[in-house]
Amino acid sequence: MLSYVLKRLAQLVVVSFIISVLVFLLIHLLPGDPTSIILGGNDTAANRQILLHQLGLNTPLYHQYWIWLIHALHGNLGQSYLTHETVGHVIATGFPIDVELIIISQVVAFTVAIPLALITSRRPNRPLDNIATTGTFGLLALPPFLIAPILVAIFAVGLHWFPATGYIPFGQNPATNLHDMILPGLALTAGSIAVYYRLLRSDLIMTLQEDFITMARSKGLSNRRIMMRQAFRPSTFSLLAVAGVNIGSLLAGTFIVEYLFAMPGLGYSIVQAVQQRDYLIVQGIALVVAIAYVVLQFIIDFLFTVVDPRVTRE
Amino acid sequence: MADERKLHSPGVSSSLGIFPGQTPPVVMAAALAESPVDDGILAKRPLGALFWFALVWVALVAIFAIIANWLPLPNPNYQNYAAINASPGIHHILGTDDLGRDLLSRIIFGARVSLVVGFASVAIGMLIGGTLGLISGFKGGRLDVALNAGSFVILAFPAIVAVIAIVAFWGQTLAKITIIIGVGTIPIMFRVVRASSLAFANRDFVIAARTLGATSTRIVFREILPNVIPAAVSFGLITVAGVIVLEGSLAFLGLSVALPTPSWGNLIAEGTANGNLSINPYILMWPALAMFFLLLSINLIGDRLRQRFDVREGLL
């Protein structure tokens, strides 16, 4: 068990290191010179040299990377040359928004998907099951950039139930914050509901054909007890694996939602920074998002060892 | 049985998860998978009317996109100030937008972006990733270990972040976006093809071919390749849907093909901007419907093919 976790931890460090190199190269090998944008009208050769020196862009690439890495490890990712806001500050204010959005969407997705799958998998191919299975197939064709505008059109513009844009920090006014989060959260949750429901349903159907379920039935256990105590846990392995991948990829969905609802999360900030060639912000957010993604996978893998202790023996 | 349906072994749950728009291809494939109850019957079941409807829809979109130049349509960027926000009617079948541009024309021309990026980038991934996967799965050894590890590292990187950064700094042309996303699909197609190549490498007919003196090249291309194609194609189609979502997301953020070139993603974004939602909901409605049915159709086709060829995610 311990050696398994240590091995995975070592992998995590190696992958994080490679990601930091990739993020660095991504920004530095691409065309588009930040100095000409920063200098604007003052773009003379002399000024450029001074700026290159100030930004440390005149040293060899590996040296720049080393300096950046050391600073990053100390929590200093530089500052925006436009607003002079530190990258750390942008991330500290933006990241909670992404996390809140993802948590809301996932809580909703699991509360809808799990009971629905538990109900329909007992009687597959009956009307209720068919409706749910077909409906979720449709949801799979509704990515956030498609469903979010539709939700805004119906519930914000049409019915005026929710605001179309805006964000108030949770600390300032929790009720308003949660109310404003409903539409963005729903836009994110649609795909997850479909994925989790379909996966859990088919795994449950398969588990219900196992011998130990027949055994439980013949012992006279109630259906409810069989579903909850016997069938559910062994059916959650692929759900957990997919949830990990899915939550990581939800980041992209949060980009869309934040952009549409004008919420200053990481997605909103990175799109803005990209438009303004604010490369340190792009670099910082890319690094944090990529590392967060990898760490999330690590946590999910760790959860596996709890749900299914067999994995550590492989 | 239990092992086969396990999506991928723990420790690699990060695999294949790069695609945004919330549903990466592997997740999609898992979600699309039919319940095991119907297994066995499914392989013999006909593809069904829905499959043909889906195929016709994709074919129609593709044909209209190809012949768009010869159709009696106004220029998609022509701004007719005499017909701003026109409702659907005889002159403009689907109406016009807030600049008086014909929506039908913009949707048909916009389909080009989604389809070109979707199919061409997966073709790039299939060609490069597929070839590498074919060889890697067959040969094994150090090459396989190295390529395998490399694909995991690339897949551990969230694609939307990489694509946004590269597109923004490199340029927003159709060709560049296709190449960037195409490179992103290489590790996905690599993993799919490698897994099935590996599964076939030790089958009797391959050993028989080798015993008869067939060269490795011949075995790979004549014995293994034909068996790998069904998995690659059906999984490739689901990846196409993923790529179309990715391009649509980029376009929605204003980071895909530069304006005023229409694409479904930027049409949807336009429909939500400048109060258009309350003034003229058609601007959002038509491209949203077109995109929804395209994704639905591609998912359906990919899913039916996957069932027919009995491709299992467990292989990945």
Per-residue pLDDT for A178 more than 50? yes
Mean pLDDT of A280-292: 83
Mean pLDDT of B4-17: 33
Instruction: Please report, as a single letter, which amino acid is at residue A93.
Output: T
Q: A6-28, pLDDT tens digit by residue?
A: 887 888 888 888 888 888 887 77
Per-residue pLDDT for A141 more than 80? yes
CB B181, CB B121: distance < 8 Å: yes
Q: B149-178, pLDDT tens digit by residue?
A: 788 777 777 777 778 877 777 778 888 888
**Cα atoms in the 13 Å half-sphere on the side-chain side of A25:** 7
How many residues does this entry show for chain A? 314
Report the pLDDT value the prediction gives residue A22, as an integer from 0 to 100: 82
Share of chain B above pLDDT 70, in %: 75
Nearest partner of B94 among B109, B107, B77, B84, judged by Cα: B107
Per-residue pLDDT for A34 more than 70? no
Please state, in angstroms and rounded to a whole number, the distance separating the CA atoms of residues A165 and B280: 19
Mean pLDDT of A59-72: 80
CB B279, CB B98: distance < 8 Å: yes
**Cβ–Cβ below 8 Å for B158 and A18:** no
Nearest partner of A233 among A118, A123, A112, judged by Cα: A118
Please state, in angstroms and rounded to a whole number, the distance separating the CA atoms of residues A186 and A191: 10
What are the phi and psi torsion angles at B34 (to 5°)?
Answer: -70, 160
Average pLDDT value over all residues in chain A: 79
What number of C-beta contacts closer than 8 Å exist between A and B? 243
Q: A71-95, pLDDT tens digit by residue?
A: 878 777 777 777 777 888 888 888 8
CA distance B193 to chain A (A): 20
pLDDT band of residue B316 (cuts 50, 70, 90) is: very low
Please state, in angstroms and rounded to a whole number, the distance separating the CA atoms of residues A252 and B289: 22
Q: What does the CA dihedral B3, A137, B21, B121 come to, rounded to 10 degrees?
A: 80
**CATH number reported for the structural domain that contains residue B243 in this entry:** 1.10.3720.10
CA B49 to chain centre: 23
CB A21, CB B156: distance < 8 Å: no
Q: Does A134 touch chain B (CB under 8 A)?
A: no
CB nearest to A259's CB, from B1, B7, B253: B253
Q: Does the N-terminal peptide bond of residue B260 adopt cis geometry, omega within 30 degrees of 0?
A: yes
Q: Hey, which residues 160-219 in chain A have their CB within 8 Å of chain B?
A: 164, 188, 191-192, 194-195, 198-199, 201-203, 205-206, 209
**Cβ–Cβ below 8 Å for B1 and A206:** yes
Nearest partner of B121 among B68, B167, B66, B76, judged by Cα: B167
| Three-class secondary structure of residue A51 per DSSP | helix
Contacts of A308 in chain B (CB under 8 A): 10
Nearest partner of B250 among B306, B304, B311, B174, judged by Cα: B174
The two structure tokens encoding residue B149: 């590890």
Report the pLDDT value the prediction gives residue B123, as an integer from 0 to 100: 93
Residue B259 domain flag: yes
Average pLDDT value over all residues in chain B: 75
Mean pLDDT of B68-72: 76
Per-residue pLDDT for B30 more than 70? no
Report the pLDDT value the prediction gives residue B4, as an integer from 0 to 100: 35
Report the pLDDT value the prediction gives residue B85, as an integer from 0 to 100: 65
Tell me which residue has tokens 């043909």. Answer: B52
pLDDT band of residue B304 (cuts 50, 70, 90) is: confident
Cα A243–Cα A245–Cα A251 angle in degrees, nearest 5: 100
Share of chain B above pLDDT 90, in %: 3
- Whole-prediction pTM: 0.81
pLDDT band of residue B39 (cuts 50, 70, 90) is: very low
Lowest mean pLDDT among A185-194, A207-216, B284-293: A207-216
Range of the domain at B266: 52-79+93-207+215-314
Report the pLDDT value the prediction gives residue B94, as an integer from 0 to 100: 67
Residue B58 domain flag: yes
Report the pLDDT value the prediction gives residue A244, as an integer from 0 to 100: 75
CB A98, CB A268: distance < 8 Å: no
Residue B38 domain flag: no
CA B218 to chain centre: 30
Mean pLDDT of B268-295: 81
Name the residue with higher pLDDT: A253 or B80: A253
Share of chain A above pLDDT 70, in %: 88
Tell me which residue has tokens 């376009």. Answer: B251
Per-residue pLDDT for B126 more than 80? yes
Report the pLDDT value the prediction gives residue B112, as an integer from 0 to 100: 86
**Cβ–Cβ below 8 Å for A143 and B295:** yes
Mean pLDDT of B216-225: 84
Residue B43 domain flag: no
Residue B46 domain flag: no
Residue B125 domain flag: yes
Instruction: Please report, as a single letter, which amino acid is at residue A146.
Output: L
CB nearest to B253's CB, from A194, A240, A271: A271
3 state SS for B204-235 = HHHHHHHHCCCCHHHHHHHHHHHHHHHHHHHH
Per-residue pLDDT for B313 more than 80? no
Name the residue with higher pLDDT: A79 or B215: B215
Please state, in angstroms and rounded to a whole number, the distance separating the CA atoms of residues B194 and A101: 36
Report the pLDDT value the prediction gives residue A32, as an integer from 0 to 100: 59
Please state, in angstroms and rounded to a whole number, the distance separating the CA atoms of residues B311 and B78: 47
Tell me which residue has tokens 């009971």. Answer: A115
Residue B108 domain flag: yes
Name the residue with higher pLDDT: A196 or B48: A196
How many domains would you assign to chain B? 1
Q: What is the DSSP string of chain B?
A: -HHHHSSS-TT-TTTT----TT--HHHHHHHHPPPGGGTTTTTTS---HHHHHHHHHHHHHHHHHHHGGGSS---TT---TTSTTPPS-SSSTT-B-TT--BHHHHHHHHHHHHHIIIIIHHHHHHHHHHHHHHHHHHH-HHHHHHHHHHHHHHHTS-HHHHHHHHHHHH---HHHHHHHHHHHHHHHHHHHHHHHHHHHHTSHHHHHHHHTT--HHHIIIIIIHHHHHHHHHHHHHHHHHHHHHHHHHHHHTT-SSPTTS--HHHHHHHHHSTTHHHH-THHHHHHHHHHHHHHHHHHHHHHHHHHHHT--GGG-
Contacts of A305 in chain B (CB under 8 A): 10
| Three-class secondary structure of residue A81 per DSSP | coil
Nearest partner of A245 among B36, B7, B241, judged by Cα: B7
pLDDT band of residue B38 (cuts 50, 70, 90) is: very low
Contacts of B153 in chain A (CB under 8 A): 15, 18-19
The two structure tokens encoding residue A149: 């505008």
Per-residue pLDDT for B88 more than 60? yes
Per-residue pLDDT for B208 more than 60? yes
Q: Does A142 touch chain B (CB under 8 A)?
A: yes
Report the pLDDT value the prediction gives residue B13, as an integer from 0 to 100: 31
Lowest mean pLDDT among A135-144, B3-12, B132-141: B3-12
Name the residue with higher pLDDT: A40 or A212: A212
Q: A183-207, pLDDT tens digit by residue?
A: 888 888 888 888 888 888 888 888 8
Report the pLDDT value the prediction gives residue B271, as an integer from 0 to 100: 74
Report the pLDDT value the prediction gives residue B121, as an integer from 0 to 100: 92
Residue B285 domain flag: yes
Please state, in angstroms and rounded to a whole number, the distance separating the CA atoms of residues B243 and B266: 16
**Cβ–Cβ below 8 Å for A294 and B161:** no
3 state SS for A259-301 = HHHCCCCHHHHHHHHHHCCCHHHHHHHHHHHHHHHHHHHHHHH
**Cβ–Cβ below 8 Å for A152 and B34:** no
**Cβ–Cβ below 8 Å for A202 and B36:** yes
